[in-house]
Each structure stands twice: as C-alpha cells, then as structure tokens.
C-alpha cells in the first residue's frame, strides 16, 4: 500500500492573487489563503489517497517557521471555517474565486484557510508547510523553485463605530389598519440604524433588553398618558430577528405586530417594517402613537402592567470587516420618539 511521502510542487496564494493584504485586527475579519501542492508516494509518483488537514497542512511564519494559532484567540490565527459575515479583504472587492478543492486531474491538492488576527498583532509574512505520512516536512520558506510562495498580511487597527458615524433617520410608515379609525387611530414611524459609509456597511446586529414574548417581540417601551382619560398610547419596538427581510415580510410587508392590546381594547395592528432597500444592512425600529376612545387603554395587557413600562435595549452592530459599534436607546422617553446614543 502506497503512502504519501513527499510533494513535487508546493505554493500558496491569497484569494485576491496579490502579494499581500490588509486585515482588521479584531479577531473576526478574515483573509483567505490557499495552499496548493502535488503529493507523491515513495516512488515519486502522484499520490491520490486521502490527506488529513489541518493535521498535515499548516500556515507558518515565513521567517521563524512557527505555526499560526489554529482557531486561536490571540495573535495570528487560522481556521478552515469561513465566517459568512466578515470574510472580506478591505479594498479588495470582496471574496474572489478561491475555494477548497480536492484531488485535481494532475493530482494537485488545494486547501483554503481563513486567517484572522487579534489586537496587538504585528505584520506577518506567511508561508505554507506540509508534513507527509512518512514525516517529510516541506515548506515554502525557501521561496524558490517548485516550493515557493509567501504572502504578507498587515494588521489595521480595529474600528469602533460611534453615534457620530452612523445613519439614524426616520420616516412615516403604513400600518395595516390605519384607515380603520372607528375605535383607534394609529400612526407609526420607522427609524433606521445604518452605517454612514460609502464603502462599508453593517451586516448583522444583536439586540438585548427588549421583550421576546409571542405577540410582543421587539417591544421595549410604552407610555399611556394620564390626561384625556388615558386615550393616548406611545410605544417603541425594535425588529431584532434576522434575516431581516425574511423575518418580517408579512402580508403586504406588514410584519411588525404593534399596539397588541387584546384585553379590553380588543386591538392590535401591524406596521410595515424593513421597507427600504438592503434590509440586511440596517436595523429597523418603529415608534407608534395610538389614540383610542371610550375608557382609554386597558391594563394589564401582555407585559404592560403599569401606565409606563420600558427597558433600554443595547444594540451591537458589526460591519462587513467585523468591526463593531455598541449603541443604546432610552425607553423612558417613549412619548418623544426613539433616540439613539453610544453605549458606555
């Protein structure tokens, strides 16, 4: 039975094909590096058997030969797992055509790794190293002949997005029953959190500090004014579920359940949310003003057991390179709309 004993060719390259790339030092931004080699058996013929990776295929420091950290959380790291959000090279136009591939017609094996780095990492020249079944070690650190290839990765200081650099605007949105004003008049405005950049965008969000109960998902603030027999209700919602377009695309786009007061008032409505292009790039909030007649709004209803109830959600937003921003909204001001601030 033949064994993998050597290689006749060994090289590595970036997915972009260039000699180097920049990468944000945040532990999430990834650069794809493909190692290619033609394995041979004890007789020098092409070997077509299975090759274990990453046990036998590594990325190493071009100067010292030290292996990069496998799935580590400090310094320079590499993995076989592509992060679907942050696998982009800044200024490189996004992922190119590098893909993990098995045994080619000529026997060449190709394996793609995804490199990241953490804060404090220095510039890193990277080479490839393979270890055969017989213990033979082959590297591209020589940089000549059939064993060649080096890429240089330059860390960039991770960005921290602040309130001053994000988009935050609002516009009137429709509700399904807004024309039914016999018992309730409902008005709603959507607020949109996005990244104010021509060449970057937010790609995913995490929200904490809002209700997630069925019928009250995203609800975080309610103020029922004591005057006028408590007929005026102000409410705030954040539509946190992802993917945004699929989660809230209800009948006619009315996917946001609002003003859900089934006890006593027997009323609920649906707002049109994620109503702008590229919903995956922004987080949508809805602010509601609803006025009822008769005896005003009834409590308790769902999580509303006092005339004023609120929380203050915290939002973490990640851009396409894995940089983050943390923001908050103060639910105590529900009667004034929704205001965004930096989270301390």
Asked if 116 and 30 touch (Cβ cutoff 8 Å), the reply is: yes
Chain-centre distance of CA 334, in angstroms?
29
What Cα–Cα distance (Å) separates residue 268 from each residue in 5, 183, 264, 288? 71, 11, 12, 12
SS3 at position 252: helix
Phi, psi of 341 (to 5 degrees): -140, 165
Render pLDDT for 309-343 as a digit per residue (tens, 0 to 9).
999 999 999 999 999 999 999 999 999 999 999 99
Which two tokens mark 95?
A: 């992922």
Which two tokens mark 80?
A: 């076989």
Asked if 295 and 282 touch (Cβ cutoff 8 Å), the reply is: no
What Cα–Cα distance (Å) separates residue 319 from each residue in 28, 52, 87, 160? 10, 34, 11, 10
Which two tokens mark 161?
A: 């997005």
Q: Alpha-carbon distance 113 to 121, whole Å?
A: 19
What is the reported pLDDT for 92?
Answer: 53
Render pLDDT for 110-161 as a digit per residue (tens, 0 to 9).
999 999 999 999 999 999 999 999 999 999 876 555 687 899 999 999 999 9
269 or 105, greater pLDDT: 269
Render pLDDT for 194-225 as a digit per residue (tens, 0 to 9).
999 999 999 999 999 999 999 999 999 999 99
Sign of the Cα pseudo-torsion (198, 203, 208, 211, in order): positive
What is the reported pLDDT for 51?
Answer: 86
Please provide the distance, in angstroms rounded to a whole number, between the alpha carbons at the two ends of the chain. 64
What is the reported pLDDT for 143?
Answer: 56
Which two tokens mark 99?
A: 């893909």
What is the reported pLDDT for 52?
Answer: 76
Mean pLDDT (whole number) for 159-176: 97
Asked if 225 and 334 touch (Cβ cutoff 8 Å), the reply is: no
Q: Alpha-carbon distance 206 to 167, whole Å?
A: 17
Q: Alpha-carbon distance 235 to 100, whole Å?
A: 50
């Amino acid at each position: 039975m033949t064994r993998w004993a050597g290689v006749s060719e060994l090289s590595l390259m970036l997915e972009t094909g260039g000699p180097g790339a920049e990468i944000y030092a945040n532990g999430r931004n990834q650069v794809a590096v493909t190692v290619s080699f033609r394995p041979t058996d004890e007789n020098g013929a092409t070997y077509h058997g299975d090759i274990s990776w990453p046990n036998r295929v590594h990325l190493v420091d071009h100067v010292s030969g030290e292996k990069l950290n496998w799935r580590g959380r400090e310094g320079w790291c590499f993995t076989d797992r592509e992060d679907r959000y942050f696998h982009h090279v800044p200024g490189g136009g996004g992922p190119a055509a590098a893909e993990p591939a098995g045994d080619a017609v000529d026997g060449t094996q190709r394996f793609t790794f995804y490199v990241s780095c953490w804060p404090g990492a220095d510039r890193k020249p990277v080479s490839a190293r393979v270890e055969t079944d017989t213990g033979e070690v082959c590297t591209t650190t020589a940089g000549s002949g059939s064993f060649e290839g080096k890429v240089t990765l330059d860390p960039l200081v991770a960005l921290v997005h602040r309130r001053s650099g994000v988009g935050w605007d609002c516009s009137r949105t429709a509700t399904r029953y807004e024309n039914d004003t016999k018992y309730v008049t409902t008005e709603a405005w959507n607020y949109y959190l996005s990244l104010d950049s021509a060449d970057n965008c937010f790609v995913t969000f995490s929200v904490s500090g809002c209700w997630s109960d069925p019928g009250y998902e995203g609800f975080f603030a309610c103020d029922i004014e004591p005057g006028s027999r408590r007929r005026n209700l102000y409410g705030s919602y954040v539509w946190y579920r992802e993917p945004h377009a699929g989660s809230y695309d209800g009948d006619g786009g009315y996917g946001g359940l609002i003003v859900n007061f089934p006890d006593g008032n027997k009323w609920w409505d649906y707002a049109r949310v994620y109503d702008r292009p590229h919903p995956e790039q922004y987080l949508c909030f809805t602010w509601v003003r609803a006025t009822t007649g008769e005896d005003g709004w009834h409590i308790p209803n769902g999580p509303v057991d006092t005339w004023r109830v609120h929380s203050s959600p915290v939002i973490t937003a990640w851009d396409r390179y894995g940089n983050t921003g943390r923001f908050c909204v103060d639910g105590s001001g529900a009667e004034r709309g929704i205001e965004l601030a930096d989270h301390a």
